């Protein structure tokens, strides 16, 4: 209980941990899960995220303690410390719980809610997009409504075909299924009509002032002369935007309030001239709407009832509603949620693209990035992303949880399906030679050639301690092994167990003879038996079965806002040859190292411990 070392209301925190762990246990047949409890605590108390590493052992202890109680004991304690969690003597159902994570939408009618996810195809989708799209889809399903994916592709200078595909691919990976997929660029001529309508009702005007002047006037709240010209003049100027004016010579501006305290309302741009080939429309158009104009009109005509967007757009809501008001169009309800990003991992393309260009990361799928392709490549599972997003809930407070929270959820998802393999790092490796092994024989071994020489045998090892469906593998074993130097360095004269094989007595270390490459010293050992004993367990890779493997270990990309030059470690290791037979994309667990995704034959990316 004492010494969590977070120097704050420890008593309150312990009570919170206990309450959440109890609730989690009661909801899951008496078994709480430490990762879920951790995620929930961080969601409820974002101020604790910096202390999560200190809290994890405490949480694990509380969870263990609670899991030893009977479910009735758990239930009655929960009733005492949090009666509101019990509904008429029972704990709320999963669906009710989800309603707490995602609170009911205002004015939502079952069967007619429409949500949308409107990404601009100007980069690869990242964890922040995952949050938006998952919440949008969950709400649509919760109300048996519809969910639209709309590419907001109205800035051709920044958009690429590659990014449309990346977004579709990311959503497919997350198992998000839109009911409708559309592009704002398909509606561009309709958007022109709304622009003209807006000019007609004196809601917009074409400004031909210089960009510098516009900027200065907006800052000081001064109206320009264009604003007071007549409607016919603006209609004419508008038509000249399509063929006469050069880029930056004219923009269509909303007639807002140049003295508004919300600077967004100071006659913002609605359309501008961009001469750039569009990834879908080619060179057919040169007048393109801004996000502000396109989003409000599109949401309204698409039937969106609840427009969810991240909090950074909060100041733009006034404009969103004002455009629709001026046009007399139906207004969706706009709701904000907090952005999601990880500590030390940039999400914005403005920061990622220069990293790629300078070669500081190896592309959008570099495992140090929070893009969906990178998370996937690192071995994070889409179910874990969804669970993680929902565990944080629909909060307005900004969330920057440590990556460890996602790792903890992911570990639970992959643990039962990851093949356990041995590996020995080359920077911590020694050869172990078993003398006179030929004298011994055993049931567990079968000779490879049917003869009596067992200098090379084949052993069968289970691929997972509990999941039989993962099968087993055959390993060729001679009398030499690679073992971790740190495990045997101080073991001279002691017995150790080669895991899943047999026991040996370490007899001597020969640093002088047979020195191959620098790490290849030898220790000699003597076979002592098969029975599992209480001795040090050491993993091994048979020299007869070893292949060279490479493991990339991603670490936090930025530390205190500066690039971490050591953010990607390359570990060279001996691994079992079976590792090269595991399908690319599968997850393996290297014993005492961590979970890794198979990235290429004999190349692995570490997911997490
Ligand atoms: Zn002007």
The model's pLDDT over 465-505, given as tens digits with 9 standing for 90+, comes to 999 999 999 999 999 999 999 999 888 899 999 999 999 99
- Residue 160 resides in a domain: yes
Q: What is the pLDDT of residue 85?
A: 47
Residues 138 and 278 in one domain: yes
The rounded Å distance from CA 87 to ligand 1 centre is 62
Residues 511 and 452 in one domain: yes
Q: How far apart are CA 355 and CA 349, in angstroms?
A: 10
The rounded Å distance from CA 214 to ligand 1 centre is 7
Q: What is the pLDDT of residue 267?
A: 98
Q: What is the pLDDT of residue 338?
A: 87
Residues 158 and 63 in one domain: no
**Contact by Cβ (8 Å): 153, 278:** yes
From 495, 511, 543, the end of a domain falls on 543
Instruction: Count how many Cα atoms sit within 13 Å of the Cα of residue 92 in the half-sphere of its side chain.
Output: 13
Residues 325 and 363 in one domain: no
- Residue 97 resides in a domain: no
Q: How far apart are CA 67 and CA 250, in angstroms?
A: 68
The rounded Å distance from CA 231 to ligand 1 centre is 14
Element (H, E) at 183: strand 180-183
The rounded Å distance from CA 252 to ligand 1 centre is 10
Tell me the CA end-to-end span of the chain in Å, nearest whole number.
26
The rounded Å distance from CA 276 to ligand 1 centre is 24
CATH number of the domain residue 253 falls in: 3.40.50.620
DSSP state of 193: H
Q: How far apart are CA 361 and CA 367, in angstroms?
A: 9
The rounded Å distance from CA 313 to ligand 1 centre is 26
From 543, 563, 597, the end of a domain falls on 543
From 291, 314, 337, the end of a domain falls on 337
- Residue 425 resides in a domain: no
Residues 405 and 436 in one domain: no
**Contact by Cβ (8 Å): 524, 435:** yes
The rounded Å distance from CA 224 to ligand 1 centre is 5
The rounded Å distance from CA 46 to ligand 1 centre is 46
Q: How many domains does the chain have?
A: 4
Residues 478 and 369 in one domain: no
The rounded Å distance from CA 536 to ligand 1 centre is 80
Residues 177 and 222 in one domain: yes
User: Which residues of the chain are under the pLDDT cut of 50?
Assistant: 1-8, 83-90, 92, 441, 443-444, 446-451, 512-519
The rounded Å distance from CA 331 to ligand 1 centre is 29
Residues 405 and 439 in one domain: no
Could you count the other beta carbons within 10 Å of the beta carbon of residue 520?
14
Q: What is the pLDDT of residue 106?
A: 92
The rounded Å distance from CA 195 to ligand 1 centre is 17
Could you count the other beta carbons within 10 Å of the beta carbon of residue 75?
18
CB burial readout 103-124, b (16+ within 10 A) else e: eebeebeeeebbbbbbbbbbbb
The rounded Å distance from CA 524 to ligand 1 centre is 87
**Contact by Cβ (8 Å): 573, 425:** yes
Q: What is the pLDDT of residue 73?
A: 82
The rounded Å distance from CA 251 to ligand 1 centre is 9
The rounded Å distance from CA 325 to ligand 1 centre is 24
- Residue 575 resides in a domain: no
Q: How many residues does the chain have?
A: 609
The rounded Å distance from CA 272 to ligand 1 centre is 13
- Residue 568 resides in a domain: no
Residues 371 and 434 in one domain: no
The rounded Å distance from CA 154 to ligand 1 centre is 23
The rounded Å distance from CA 266 to ligand 1 centre is 12
Q: What is the pLDDT of residue 288?
A: 98
The rounded Å distance from CA 202 to ligand 1 centre is 15
Residues 221 and 175 in one domain: yes
- The DSSP bridge pattern shows strands 429-435 and 480-484 to be antiparallel
Q: What is the pLDDT of residue 348?
A: 85
The rounded Å distance from CA 364 to ligand 1 centre is 41
Q: How far apart are CA 595 and CA 588, in angstroms?
A: 6
Residue 5 Rama label (left phi>0; alpha psi -120 to 50; beta): left
Q: How far apart are CA 258 and CA 265, in angstroms?
A: 7
- Residue 468 resides in a domain: no
Q: How far apart are CA 432 and CA 540, in angstroms?
A: 9
The rounded Å distance from CA 415 to ligand 1 centre is 63
Residues 439 and 402 in one domain: no
Q: What is the pLDDT of residue 76?
A: 75
- Residue 63 resides in a domain: yes
Residues 187 and 126 in one domain: yes
The rounded Å distance from CA 225 to ligand 1 centre is 6
Q: What is the pLDDT of residue 53?
A: 82
The rounded Å distance from CA 253 to ligand 1 centre is 9
Domain that holds residue 268: 114-337
- Residue 535 resides in a domain: yes
């Amino acid at each position: 209980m004492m010494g969590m070392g977070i120097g704050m209301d420890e008593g309150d925190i312990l009570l919170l941990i206990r309450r959440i762990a109890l609730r989690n246990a009661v909801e899951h047949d008496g078994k709480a899960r430490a990762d879920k409890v951790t995620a929930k605590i961080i969601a409820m108390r974002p101020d604790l995220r910096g202390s999560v590493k200190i809290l994890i052992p405490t949480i694990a202890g509380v969870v263990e303690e609670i899991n030893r109680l009977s479910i009735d004991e758990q239930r009655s304690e929960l009733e005492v410390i949090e009666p509101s969690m019990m509904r008429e003597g029972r704990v709320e159902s999963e669906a009710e719980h989800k309603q707490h994570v995602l609170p009911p939408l205002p004015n939502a009618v079952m069967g007619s809610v429409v949500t949308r996810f409107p990404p601009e195809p100007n980069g690869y989708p990242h964890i922040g997009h995952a949050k938006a799209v998952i919440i949008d889809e969950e709400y649509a399903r919760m109300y048996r409504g519809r969910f639209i994916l709309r590419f907001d592709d109205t800035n051709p200078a920044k958009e690429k075909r590659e990014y449309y595909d990346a977004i579709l691919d990311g959503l497919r990976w997350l198992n998000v299924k839109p009911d409708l997929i559309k592009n704002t660029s398909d509606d561009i001529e309709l958007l022109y009509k709304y622009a003209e309508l807006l000019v007609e009702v004196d809601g917009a005007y074409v400004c031909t002032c210089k960009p510098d002047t516009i900027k200065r006037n907006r800052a000081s709240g001064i109206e320009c002369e264009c604003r007071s010209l007549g409607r016919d003049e603006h209609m004419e100027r508008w038509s000249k935007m399509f063929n006469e004016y050069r880029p930056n010579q004219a923009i269509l501006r909303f007639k807002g309030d140049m003295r508004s305290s919300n600077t967004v309302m100071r006659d913002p741009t609605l359309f501008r001239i961009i001469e750039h080939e569009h990834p879908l429309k080619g060179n057919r158009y040169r007048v393109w709407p801004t996000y502000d104009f396109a989003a409000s009109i599109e949401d309204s005509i698409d039937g969106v009832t609840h427009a969810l967007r991240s909090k950074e757009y909060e100041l733009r809501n006034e404009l969103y509603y004002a455009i629709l008001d001026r046009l007399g169009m139906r207004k969706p309800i706009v709701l904000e949620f907090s952005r999601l990003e990880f500590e030390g991992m940039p999400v914005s393309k403005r920061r990622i693209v220069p990293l790629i260009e300078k070669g500081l990361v190896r592309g959008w799928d570099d495992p140090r990035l929070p893009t969906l392709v990178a998370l996937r490549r690192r071995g994070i599972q889409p179910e874990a992303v969804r669970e993680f997003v929902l565990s944080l809930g629909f909060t307005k407070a900004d969330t920057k949880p440590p990556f460890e929270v996602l790792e903890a959820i992911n570990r639970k998802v992959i643990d039962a399906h990851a093949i356990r393999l041995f590996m020995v790092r080359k920077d911590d490796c020694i050869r172990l030679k078993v003398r006179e092994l030929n004298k011994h024989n055993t049931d567990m071994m079968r000779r490879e050639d049917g003869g009596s020489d067992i200098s090379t045998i084949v052993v069968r090892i289970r691929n997972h301690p509990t999941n039989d469906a993962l099968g087993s593998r055959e390993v060729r074993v001679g009398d030499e092994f690679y073992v971790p130097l740190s495990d045997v360095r101080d073991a001279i004269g002691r017995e150790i167990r080669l895991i899943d094989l047999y026991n040996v007595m370490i007899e001597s270390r020969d640093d002088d003879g047979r020195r191959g490459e620098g790490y290849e010293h030898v220790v000699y050992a003597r076979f002592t038996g098969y029975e599992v004993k209480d001795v040090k367990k050491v993993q091994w890779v048979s020299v007869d079965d070893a292949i060279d493997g490479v493991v990339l270990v991603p670490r936090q990309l930025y530390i205190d806002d500066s690039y971490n030059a050591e953010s990607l470690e390359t570990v060279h290791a001996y691994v079992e040859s079976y590792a090269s037979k595991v399908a690319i994309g599968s997850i393996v667990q290297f014993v005492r190292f961590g979970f890794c995704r198979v990235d290429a034959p004999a190349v692995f990316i570490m997911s997490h411990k």
